[in-house]
Structure 1
């Protein structure tokens, strides 16, 4: 297949991620080319390196780089050979590594080398010299391999730079303007020459007896394949649509979207098989020459492009209302399906054009004129798609954060599509045909791939809903989001290939990632992180399973209380996480010794910044070990009372009695004063204060209160409740009921019941419960009354309150307005007398 056909095929595969992402990623991870290169040579083995052969390959690559006429295919072939050598040389750097490590330990065991001017024992000196000489000989292959590796790596980078420069020059090549009418006749002649050449090849083969005989012998197979192909192409898609519709009616709602999406892929596969059968039937006729054969080979690729686009349009703009990725009207959805199908047709036509024209020696003017119509049509469709995306955002305006973010992305992509769709025709009209094509076709294909990624994200959510049997929970779950993020990361190489990146560029990037980067003497690579994440995840999973077994099976059979069980389970979790991290770091080969100096320098600053967190963490460990406070205890700390709901390594969650959660740092529970009402037992003392009026019979009050306390069901009678005459208060005689309850958690309800019974019994026995009283004495009442008569706003006949100085009583008077303090010179009003227990005088 010609390079143009390969590019068209790759473009088709990119539109359908299910058909393209996994092969592309597999190819990228394998290095794109076999280590031996495209010429069939086997990769050199690290233990059997032929440095003479390596020198020959390196010199050939340097010669090709110095030759401006070297072809891109030749440079690619040399690059593949260099990649194979580089892999072998990288492995060769570790030759004798274990023996070298042993020798270094032996030399270290001899002690430090003597300083200048000093000597050591002859036996030790001889042994040191022998070991040093042996170490130098063992290190020689690794040093040579490292030097050759650097040379191979530099040559590969130089070849990549040369190919990228040539690719950039090709994209910026200026062709004659296709809108110049003077260039049109040449394009018409070139097109007629191509068609005429194909017709001449067919006539020549028709006149050949051997070809004529081949056609006659293959007529039955040709007719059968033609009938099969036409049936699949014409009726394949409708049959698949009917099958999907039947499944939608018969299956349950859960998972039906996943099943219909998988079965709808038959709309691509079935007609594509028909196109392949059609191409094979025509090739069996033997009536096509070189150009015709190339055209037949490209025909399945063109069909795949077309059917992929049609399928994608149906998925993004469905006919029914059950599943709408975008909120559009029926007319707009029909427009979206038409635009995507038309773009597929443009891609198919462009693939056929490239297959035929790239093999012809056509003038640049003819190539520009023949490529201009497809670029213009693709740009027009891109602008229409961009406007449709803008309408989608306008219709789907919402306050939801997730949908709002999606709308912003769709709006940005729509604007970019419109911009590219307007810019590409201008460049093409000037004559920058390759640049215009490199803009408009990748832009539209990228939009199709993004739409496919969005559909796959929805399908992943549906699959997760089927697994957990909860559709609402699946929409808000984190797992589908993470899977969608992984799909986007996996599609990044595909986007790079769409926009002109070479497979070699992606494989080189993957190689650099595998090599990692150095921090001091420590080399860290993504593979180390991936291995660490997998091992750490396995360790955490085992820890959680072990915790579950302890919590559900082992600990319930022991005599430990709930607090001890929770502490043990939490401690196992912390130890398991620590061991999982330690094992994962060691197994992944991450050497953190080189980071010790940096960590030591940062530890001081981090210690000051995180001292409270560390203090709370240590306090949490103390709480779990000593268990002064356990889950379910009723505690009081810092004036806050409530039940302990959870103890973590940093803080403790307390639920107060008004159902609010209070987060208390563990340091307060360890270093502060904590009252635990229910730590060792539930018994506790309740004190109820009672006040009676002066003059009441104190013995009678004591007897009544004692009867009330002993009548409580939760009161403990040994020791019995106690009634204490506490003091003579300012307003009352103060008593206290002191009773010990079996369950202090019910102290509020017992207190309330005791107060009810006290109110009832005191009312029956005629015992008064006093309340506070306040008397106010007003002085200079006569002067105030005289001033009230002299006020300008005073009303005639206003009653004047006569003062009774002996008793301190006064009747109410209502002045006509507010009385400013300025109007009472020399008048004084005394402060209130708060001796409420005594009469005022």
Structure 2
């Protein structure tokens, strides 16, 4: 127990010492002379190109370490520099040419400038050394990339030559003989020492457990998945089935690991055998991963959703192809480890890899066809998923092309180029498939957590954002798979962490995080203030609904503006040098977006002056309805047909607007009535007045008025004019009065005339002959002139 406590105490003291010593080390002055000599040597090596890739990688690591020191030294004397700069600024601007200033101030300015130059000297030296180190790192990266590109296009002897086959067979035989020799030697040694049989019970137990896991484990996992899918709902089936299906990878991997552990525990494996066992582990992992992905992308039975559209036959083929892809990638890793152990050359590697490349080419070509067909089905089934189908279609065609071309390149002799196409394409497809599966699971888990159904969960934004972040996180791995080095990723991250210049301000992740935090806090406070004002404060005042909305909207705009200004100031972003550019852009945007700016300003005027408010009954540009919302760009008016009309705010400010309910809801209704000539007009006036006064919405003061408007063409024209307590019901009142007028006129036998017209015909005879039926046509013989049918006298003689 004391040893444990002493160990933890020593670790704690070491950590504290490192934390306290870190600032001291950060302030140490770098040895610039040593660096200059090292940099000169690196430049010579680059110029003569005499080092291997590993040698250049080691030099690069040393240069990165130097660069980090110089970056830390760049902050030396920062407090002193800021103080001296503030003192110089306090003296005021330096005199212009031909002008002088008091001697005391001039002497003091010279002293401060000299001190400032001396304080800046370490920073300038560090910046210079940092720039040289960065330049050398860039040259090393360019050299390594150039070598990598040249290797891709280097033509090797074709692996189809029989002479190379003999070398490949001999190399594999040598590896097998080496493993056999190591096993025989170790077994003899363990038997002589008597340690082999001591470990045999553990070895037997591990082998039995591995046999059970490998033979029975996958079947147990499948049964458990089927039971969970049968008992769970649609979303639970996806989430729980996914979690349990991970056992399909873990169980076989655990089984092969137990076998390796059993062999290693006996001590019969040598270095070569252990590396081959490691390759076997990786091969089993890729095989199990391919099998698992195939079952998730091409599910059997249709109980879980698939990111692709396919029938059962295509699904079975897809599962088989995914399993084959995983197995072939595992063989690539295993063969690479085997030939790497024996230091095999490229010719032997091309022979051993060629069958695997051909198999991967066939698998990729078939998968590409499935993707292309699925893309077409996605576009046909759902027009809203056209972009997804388009992307899947392009991916399928690219995969088909690589699957057809890469094996041919390997057979010709472009072994490295073929390897750089087939393996990265297969692994990238696996990563994309994993992201698709994770998106389905995240969507289902989000639906379960929020209590949504599958359709609502599919429309949610949060799962898409999470999947997008996962996709961004996978980009470095995909880039490395396609040939980039982790040092390149680290270099990009270093540049991002250092930031970029915007005027006199350096925009770095720290600056962005500071601005985001301050702006986010300001945004939350603004929304909190708006909610408090809307729900608790303003309803207790006498301000109408429109005024309350105007105040809440104004607080929102003011709060967001202040949050942005405070965020920019807190992050130390100085945009003063960008004022001219921003001004020019503002003028250009102002001319290009005149209507939008006009509507924006008009919206602010509407919110301040409030000539109309939400809920008002208005008429503008021939459209009549109720104002539903007022934003800074437009106003939404809901017509009485329940349709929304979007009116630009500029039209409301510059045009004529009729507001029927501004200030109050009182309005007037006019009901025209016509009666037949000969009716007692005073009697009609009395009846109409009684009808108007009897309606509950008509006001008593002022009372309704009945006017005898004149003598019409067909009737005596009267008109009811009444003031309503709520003009919103004007159409209902108009209809009610018409019904009541019709009823009262029927009781009083008062006739409501309708237009009658008498038609006089000036030419009835002509019309009669035109409409008379035509006589039957005469025969052709009757149409011949009788004089022409009589025989000629000369002919008779």
Q: TM-score, normalised by structure 2?
A: 0.87
Q: Which residue of 2 aligns with 1:427?
A: 409
1:124 to 72, 82, 105: 105
2:409 & 2:111 partners in 1: Cα distance? 73
Q: Per-residue deviation at 1:158? A: 1.0
Shift of 1:154: 0.5
Q: Secondary structure at the match of 2:380?
A: coil
Corresponding position of 2:786: none
Task: State how far apart, in whole Å, the 2-side matches of 1:334 and 1:764 are.
Answer: 84
Q: Deviations over 1:759-811 (max 9, x none)?
A: 33334434444445667777xx57x96xx5xxxxxxxxx747xxxxxxxxxxx
Distance 1:633 1:277, change over 3 A: same
Give the 3 Å change call, closer, same or farther, for CA 735–367 of structure 1 in structure 2: closer
Moved more, 654-663 or 104-113: 104-113
- SS state of the match for residue 518, structure 1? strand
CA distance in 2, matches of 1:212, 1:382: 52
Residue 267 of structure 2 aligns to a residue whose secondary structure is coil
The equivalent position to 1:682 in structure 2, one of 643, 658, 665, is 665
**How far 1:650 moved relative to its partner?**
1.3
Counterpart of 1:461 in structure 2 is: 443
Match of 1:408 among 390, 394, 398: 390
Change (3 A) 1:611 1:741: same
Report the Cα distance in structure 2 between the residues aligned to 1:610 and 1:329, rounded to whole angstroms. 52
Is 2:291–2:323's contact at 8 Å kept on the other side of the alignment?
A: yes
Residue 133 of structure 1: CA displacement? 0.4
Aligned position for 1:743: 726
Checking the alignment, whether the CA contact within 8 Å between 1:688 and 1:737 is kept in structure 2 is yes
More displaced 10-residue stretch of structure 1: 225-234 or 443-452:
225-234
Are residues 477 and 538 of structure 1, via their aligned partners in 2, closer, same or farther at CA, if it must alter by over 3 Å? farther
Residue 190 of structure 2 contacts residue 196 of structure 2 at CA under 8 Å; is this kept in 1?
A: no
- The 1:715–1:407 alpha-carbon spacing in structure 2 relative to 1, beyond 3 Å, is closer
Tell me, yes or no, if the aligned pair for 2:669 and 2:721 is still in contact at 8 Å: yes
The alignment status of 1:71 with 2:52, answered yes or no, reads: yes
1:757 equivalent in structure 2: 740
Partner residue, 1:271 = 252
Q: Distance in 2 between matches of 1:381 and 1:651?
A: 56
Describe the shift of the 1:422–1:720 C-alpha distance in structure 2 as closer, same or farther (beyond 3 A).
closer
Contact 2:503 2:575 in 1 (8 A): no
The superposition leaves residues 701-738 of structure 1 with CA deviations (integer Å, 9 ceiling, x where unpaired) of: 22222222222122222222222233444554433222
Question: Aligned pair 1:359/2:341, yes or no?
Answer: yes
Mapping of 1:10-89 within 5 angstroms?
45=26, 47-89=28-70
What is the CA–CA distance in structure 2 between the aligned matches of 1:320 and 1:662, rounded to whole Å? Answer: 49
Inter-partner Cα distance in structure 1 for 2:615 and 2:23:
71
Residue 653 of structure 2 is aligned to residue 670 of structure 1: yes
Is the contact made by 2:376 and 2:393 (CA closer than 8 Å) also made in structure 1? no
C-alpha RMSD of the superposition: 2.9
**Structure 2: runs of 5 or more not aligned:** 1-21, 775-797
Q: What secondary structure sits across from 1:248 in the alignment?
A: helix
State the number of aligned residues: 751
- Aligned twin of 1:446: 428
SS of structure 1 residue aligned to 2:658:
strand
Map of 2:681 onto structure 1: 698
* Match 2:489 to one of 506, 512, 525: 506
- CA distance in 2 between counterparts of 1:42 and 1:664 reads 63
Partner of residue 837, structure 1: none
1:259 match: secondary structure: helix
SS at match of 2:235: coil
Partner SS state of residue 322, structure 1:
coil
1:282 match: 263
> Is 1:389 aligned with 2:371?
yes
Q: Any residues of structure 2 matched to 1:118-157 within 5 Å, and which?
A: 118-157=99-138
Corresponding position of 1:349: 331
Give the structure 2 partner of residue 103 of structure 1.
Answer: 84
Contact 1:44 1:85 in 2 (8 A): no
Partner deviation per Cα, 1:29-72 (whole Å, 9 max, x = no partner)? xxxxxxxxxxxx99962554333443354345334434534232
Counterpart position of 1:316:
297
How far does residue 90 in structure 1 lie from its aligned partner after superposition? 2.5
Moved more, 105-114 or 336-345: 105-114
Write the distance in 2 (CA, Å) between the matches of 1:618 and 1:250.
60
Q: Select between 762-771 and 350-359 the one with higher mean Cα deviation.
A: 762-771
Identify unmatched segments of 5+ residues in structure 1. 1-40, 789-797, 801-812, 818-841
2:313 is the counterpart of 1:328 = no
2:183 aligns to what?
202
Give the Cα–Cα distance (whole angstroms) in 2 for the partners of residues 659 and 389 of structure 1. Answer: 45
Q: What aligned pairs does 1:630-649 form with structure 2 within 5 A after superposition?
A: 630-649=613-632
SS at the partner of 1:738?
strand
Counterpart CA distance in 1 for 2:548 and 2:92 is 54
Partner of 2:618, secondary structure, is strand
TM-score by length of 1: 0.83
The alpha-carbon deviation at position 614 of structure 1 amounts to 2.4
Choose 97-106 or 121-130, whichever is displaced more: 97-106
Q: Which structure: greater helix fraction?
A: 2
What is the deviation of 1:591? 2.7
Distance, in Å, in 1 between the alignment partners of 2:352 and 2:266 is 30
Alpha carbons 1:420, 1:439 under 8 Å: kept: yes
Separation of aligned partners in 1, 2:526 and 2:98 = 60
Q: Sort the Cα spacing of 1:214 and 1:435 in 2 relative to 1 into closer, same or farther, 3 A.
A: farther
Is residue 522–residue 594 contact of structure 1 (8 Å, CA) maintained in 2? Answer: no
Stretch moving more, 653-662 or 402-411: 402-411
Structure 1 725/389 Cα, relative in aligned 2: closer, same or farther at 3 Å? closer
